[in-house]
Structure 1
């Protein structure tokens, strides 16, 4: 599962986001194809592209190349207030390979942790006209892709997930957003991140406070919340699949600590299935049943209660395929928690066993996740390190003050002091993840 501000803690490069469109750097979206499959007709390739999240992009004056934001500071002249800032500042194109370490072969996308001064990145899948995000409804379907995490050590996360962003990145709804989906605007997730520089077309400068551990980031008074389905959060050591639900539909801004926090709009903790955390220490990792030294396939199935596309979501099932062998997910070895998939019953039992509040059920559980898919969700791919919790919630003992003998505390073999971003970036800056061969279709249609 996420740390409490997991994706909000993503490290930014030299540039950040804006709402007007700049013309100083040419925007060429990297190609990324996917396949739509049927049970009887096989799979058909669709040609798409990806676009870089606006939070990473260069933000400068609409009149020239003067930065609107540098380091952790907004330019007071260009950005005296949220609305004026959005009018004065332009979001520019990206050099994907040179600045951000993002390269594409058409069906495979490689993301590198550190390129020059930039750290991490986040991209979204665009439709064929490159005007809107591709929207997914995975109820009664499966989502499949290949991944290579062999170059992702402790403290890093290669994530593939869905969030309930606006199809056009908020362009039609918010008058000050002229850039929209082609420039990666409109991000939201279940952590209600407050480091997003522009939310709902306005600069998030009110209450802006520089981060203490990251010289490129800060937080404003406003967060950006929405439902989130974490298909894959993983490195070479550990992996988790986690639905997070919210009590509001679509992207919504939160403006108080309560609304943005653990008791607010969204379920930050989610309901996760991490094989190591669930008691099976030999299933996932280097040389294990799912061998992370080499590429493998991840299949995630979204089962509905009545077996139809409109029924309530009732189960999220995980399958792996490696070297031609189909590998069913590991079963829970935690006392009083049974199964190898995510159901509402599994989540309730897990929360009880681990001594956690069932915030997932309180916000609607799996049915609410299914409702979000019916409204449409955007595909996200990223690589990041964690300034908030050093990624220990994924691959090490967490929380730090909890006894490691307590069920659910140890999530992988990484050390209790691992994952410090400064160390990760200096020692493993060349770390990378590759996503490829994305397929979506009815249950049983995308793998064999």
Structure 2
């Protein structure tokens, strides 16, 4: 059974069997309807309530998340109880250790997966365009993550999260529309659709300031028959990314944030990072955003001008929306065949259900007993390898790994990307599998060992 890749965002969940050159088969809202008792109604009546399991990138409601994944994996992917497969999750920047532990526990205890792996979204997005170094600017529904990545490792000390995202731009758009259309009643779905159609970026700040006198009003009829007038409101949405004070945030614009983030990385990586800048997330596909970003980058104070990575022609359209999932699909073709994933626990000749027998800790060794005997042995609890957080290493030395394996991994990756560009009669997945059988080398990424 092929591995499943899941990218659970605040607005959309992307999931499907790993296919490196195809958009995710399943894209659905990250929402669940649950029955709750309404105390204000007589007889404790039960009403439906919409719950968002993921808020600003992180899981906040684990019960709802379990229900959502149950629907995705068994109803849509086609898993059968007792015959579950392997799964790879994308992981947002700065994911707390406790959330990692809960996800691992959920996967093994509730979904009985045969293998688990997780990798950070910034790294995966770069994999999707054939890079292992670069800087990602991920504009999600609930946050903006700016992450420099050097040779497959996120530089957390230089990374930055802005607590604004697509949902805040939607709210801003609704406020602006209400100012010019006070008699029109708008619901969130109306505003979302209008934002998709009308949100855009001016060429530069001067052009934005001149729009008020030059923008022609446009009439739009809503599904319920109401007519709304739209003028510069769409431009205000785009401008907020470059002038955050529009959203009430006293901070620098997105290009300045990128340059500042990269400046906190060793200077030897500056050119490689800035010249491989990748825009991802749904908002990155806003009309005019890429051109405005590059124009602002050309005017930045950086000695090295940031330049944007162009997606390979063989990748699906709207790559920015699905880049983390596609990178996960690429990585899944490496880590699971090479047994770099975590399983329920296999120690010497016996099998252990680690999550039932021992407390989840990182980088510690403890005594535990075999289930099928009274023998006592030492077992390593899983270690989440993270180049930016030494506390998560355990005994795993990332710097030593780089010395031993990075050159081989780079050579392998470059060779595969070259092979992808050649005319071929086989599918890309078949090419990938045959290539990996001939070049078995370690792959980077956030991993667990058990």
TM-score range, shorter chain: under 0.3
Q: Which has the higher helix share?
A: 2
Higher normalized strand content (fraction of residues): 1
TM-score (norm 1): 0.27
Greater RCO (CA < 8 Å, at least 6 residues apart):
1
